[in-house]
A and B are shown apart, each in its own frame.
Chain A
């Protein structure tokens, strides 16, 4: 038994030593981790402030819009009691709204109120604005019948429709912007219906964006692969000189490169002038401000993103594999397809993914030379940010794009494997 005891003691001693070690070891690890954490702290801070917060806020803004409820809180509240929407709301509702519109007009916020309601129910903005202009001068305390008053200011107050518009616009949370971003609309009754034919724009544009991005990816592959292949074969010294020609455009300002395309492609630009003077054509070709020029310029701009990863991968491919394949009887073509090409795939995946994702979010080039049919989804997001001030819709469009890209990346990861990317 003592024997066992000793053993136990021994073991426990051993264990004690071990746990002490483990503790020290853990401490050391923790210290290292803290050090690492401190080192990445600036980056983490940067990411949270400039990346995660804005994206989070964007997602939030895409379905949260309290403007109407804040501008006319009493009307918003009283309208929640309005049950039968086929009938007009009661006199109290008319009175509340009349007072609130007058108040808004005096503080010059009626226009904002009208615009917000108009987003939910088109053609009601002008009704509210006209009413607000007229109601300003009216002494509301002396009015006997507010329903009559409002209806006399604009006949649309005599129909329930505009009230349903105001009510649904007072919802603080709405999926209307997502519906809009996918060419649907949320009816005031709560039903989601397809937009009318002439207002369906976002899905066709999304489709166009993806098609153009695919075309550009394909073109950069066709143009870039041979270049990268050639660069990887020639001596390093020569290659680095030639690489400058790939990198030079990469270092040139995006605006300069796009503007250069304008000089080349415009009606009296280099191409048209030469063709005209050679009598090949008798009137200038339409080769700018359309989809064609967008694809052309973007392919040019994004080409280095394809060439560089391809080159770095091809550089590392041992040429003896291809030689081995050939010595085993494969013809040069077969050796290339079955041996070399698969080996270059990591570079191709990286290049294709880079080009594709960058082109999906591209903005400047289509904005400058895209004309009308070269506009991409980011141009619409910018349009809603800058021109219509419909930030909620811009946010919803942005979120849709984000989700699509994540979904695509997921599919890509499934098919090719994200670990297969080599930059």
Chain B
């Protein structure tokens, strides 16, 4: 029994060894985006402070975060979260409140709080990191090329599979757009029971032609290996496939749902102070401008002067009139309920 106790003691001390201070677990979405973050945010910070950073991937959503917080076993210290999820995560107590008044000045000397675009620090739990967008893309050798969201939902005009991310967000918005609802009314209509029915009915028309994926990194891959002729994707993933891998893809901005991503700290993180320091450093003018590597726009005004001319037309901000901003508030209020409906719809034949 004593030996057992001893070995348990050894085992537990080994387990807790990786919780020592000066270590930070940062999670983000991986792929080209993760690489850009590593280059401009993670590596410079490691070099400057000597902090050991474990940089991991996840596929978004609040589920994993919620599981960690509720089981009081928080392994993550900093998380890259989509703003469409941040309102819900913050209001359900999954994130720490972030001290926005500590944000440092921009490189042009403007006070931190004024330098950020308002939406970036609009939520008390997060600091905006990028402006990105969900768009659709296709290969250039496609016979009839989709021009609008309505084309995505038109399998007669363009036969073949469409790949969508397996969650109601964006898909329901697109279904309404394709059904002719005006851009400014999307969330108003989706807030009614009739509107939800309308959206699902529209999705029904292409249900058998949809391939569902879980992680953004699957989108360019599905397009590449012919798993789908049109894919829903984060714009940066397609941009990077075109630029780095010389893929013959084309981005269509019609119906783009743009959103912010931000850094936040899971509630109960064991390295909260260190996490705050990291976020403050990672959201300075220069690191934010570095996200142009994957065509994601900066959340600081002072970063804009650092964006290369040829990247500018590839940023979501160059196409604002063609789409809508994802509503974090709408999805905070209706996320779980529509999620349930979506799952039930998905399973039904």
Q: If A110-B91, A386-B63, A386-B64 touch, does A266 touch B227 (CB 8 Å cutoff)? A: yes
Is B347 at the interface (CB under 8 A from chain A)?
A: yes
Q: Which of A18-26, A83-91, A122-130, A219-227 contacts B (4 or more CB under 8 A)?
A: A122-130
Q: If A108-B93, A372-B212, A389-B67 touch, does A123 touch B226 (CB 8 Å cutoff)? A: no
Q: How far is the CB of A187 from chain B (nearest CB, A)?
A: 17
Q: If A126-B334, A201-B348, A386-B63 touch, does A107 touch B93 (CB 8 Å cutoff)? A: yes
Q: If A109-B92, A198-B344 touch, does A266 touch B226 (CB 8 Å cutoff)? A: yes
Interface residue from B92, B337, B343 paired with A122 (Cβ < 8 Å)? B337
Interchain CB contact under 8 A, A267 and B347:
no
Q: How far is the CB of A408 from chain B (nearest CB, A)?
A: 23
Is B340 at the interface (CB under 8 A from chain A)?
A: yes
Interface residue from A111, A199, A268, A386 paired with B91 (Cβ < 8 Å)? A111
Interchain CB contact under 8 A, A130 and B92:
no
Interface size class of B (residues with CB under 8 A): 35 or more
Interchain CB contact under 8 A, B337 and A123:
yes
Is B242 at the interface (CB under 8 A from chain A)?
A: no
Interchain CB contact under 8 A, A112 and B336:
no
Q: How far is the CB of A388 from chain B (nearest CB, A)?
A: 6
The 8 closest A-B pairs by CB, nearest first: A111-B92, A111-B91, A126-B333, A268-B226, A108-B93, A387-B63, A112-B92, A201-B344
Residues of B contacting A: mostly:
helix
| Binary contact readout A279-290 vs B (1 if CB under 8 angstroms, 0 otherwise) | 000010000010
Complex: A122 Cα to B333 Cα, angstroms: 12
A-B pairs with beta carbons under 8 Å apart, 12 shown: A109-B92, A111-B88, A111-B90, A125-B336, A126-B337, A132-B91, A198-B345, A199-B341, A266-B225, A371-B211, A372-B207, A388-B340
State how many residues of chain A have any CB contact under 8 Å with chain B: 39
Is A375 at the interface (CB under 8 A from chain B)?
A: yes
Complex: A268 Cα to B139 Cα, angstroms: 15
Closest to B96 in A: A108
Residues on the A chain within 8 Å of B67, using CB: 385-386, 389
Interchain CB contact under 8 A, A108 and B90:
yes
Q: How far is the CB of B211 from chain A (nearest CB, A)?
A: 6
Closest to B334 in A: A126
Is B165 at the interface (CB under 8 A from chain A)?
A: no
Interchain CB contact under 8 A, A205 and B63:
no
Q: If A199-B344, A268-B225, A268-B226 touch, does A111 touch B66 (CB 8 Å cutoff)? A: no
Is B161 at the interface (CB under 8 A from chain A)?
A: yes
Interchain CB contact under 8 A, B347 and A388:
no
Is A115 at the interface (CB under 8 A from chain B)?
A: yes
Q: How far is the CB of B343 from chain A (nearest CB, A)?
A: 6
Q: If A108-B92, A122-B337 touch, does A129 touch B332 (CB 8 Å cutoff)? A: yes
Residues on the B chain within 8 Å of A123, using CB: 337
Interchain CB contact under 8 A, A373 and B349:
yes
Is A378 at the interface (CB under 8 A from chain B)?
A: no
Is B306 at the interface (CB under 8 A from chain A)?
A: no
Is A134 at the interface (CB under 8 A from chain B)?
A: no
Is A93 at the interface (CB under 8 A from chain B)?
A: no
Task: Please report which residues of chain B, range 311-336, place their CB below 8 angstroms from some CB of chain A when the two chains form the complex.
Answer: 332-334, 336
Task: Please report which residues of chain A, range 335-386, place their CB below 8 angstroms from some CB of chain B when the two chains form the complex.
Answer: 371-373, 375, 380, 383, 385-386
Is B346 at the interface (CB under 8 A from chain A)?
A: yes
Is B151 at the interface (CB under 8 A from chain A)?
A: no
Q: If A130-B333, A389-B66 touch, does A372 touch B92 (CB 8 Å cutoff)? A: no
Interchain CB contact under 8 A, B91 and A388:
no
Q: How far is the CB of A150 from chain B (nearest CB, A)?
A: 17
Is A176 at the interface (CB under 8 A from chain B)?
A: no
Q: How far is the CB of B247 from chain A (nearest CB, A)?
A: 15
Is B154 at the interface (CB under 8 A from chain A)?
A: no
Is A293 at the interface (CB under 8 A from chain B)?
A: no
Apart from A198-B348, A289-B211, 5 more pairs, CB < 8 Å: A108-B90, A109-B93, A118-B337, A372-B207, A387-B63
Residues on the B chain within 8 Å of A108, using CB: 90-93, 97
Interchain CB contact under 8 A, B336 and A388:
yes
Interchain CB contact under 8 A, A115 and B212:
no
Closest to B333 in A: A126
Q: How far is the CB of A311 from chain B (nearest CB, A)?
A: 38
Interchain CB contact under 8 A, B332 and A375:
no
Q: How far is the CB of B262 from chain A (nearest CB, A)?
A: 17
Complex: A112 Cα to B97 Cα, angstroms: 16
Complex: A200 Cα to B345 Cα, angstroms: 10
Complex: A266 Cα to B212 Cα, angstroms: 14
Interface residue from B227, B334, B339, B343 paired with A267 (Cβ < 8 Å)? B227
Interchain CB contact under 8 A, B63 and A389:
yes
Is B114 at the interface (CB under 8 A from chain A)?
A: no
Interchain CB contact under 8 A, B226 and A111:
no
Interchain CB contact under 8 A, B332 and A111:
yes
Residues on the B chain within 8 Å of A388, using CB: 63, 336, 339-340, 343
Interchain CB contact under 8 A, A201 and B339:
no
Interchain CB contact under 8 A, A387 and B332:
no
Closest to A42 in B: B4
Q: How far is the CB of B144 from chain A (nearest CB, A)?
A: 15
Residues on the A chain within 8 Å of B207, using CB: 372
Residues on the A chain within 8 Å of B349, using CB: 373
Interchain CB contact under 8 A, A372 and B93:
no
Q: How far is the CB of A129 from chain B (nearest CB, A)?
A: 5
Complex: A385 Cα to B70 Cα, angstroms: 12
| Binary contact readout A202-233 vs B (1 if CB under 8 angstroms, 0 otherwise) | 00110000000000000000000000000000
Is B99 at the interface (CB under 8 A from chain A)?
A: no
Q: How far is the CB of B217 from chain A (nearest CB, A)?
A: 15
Residues on the A chain within 8 Å of B341, using CB: 198-199
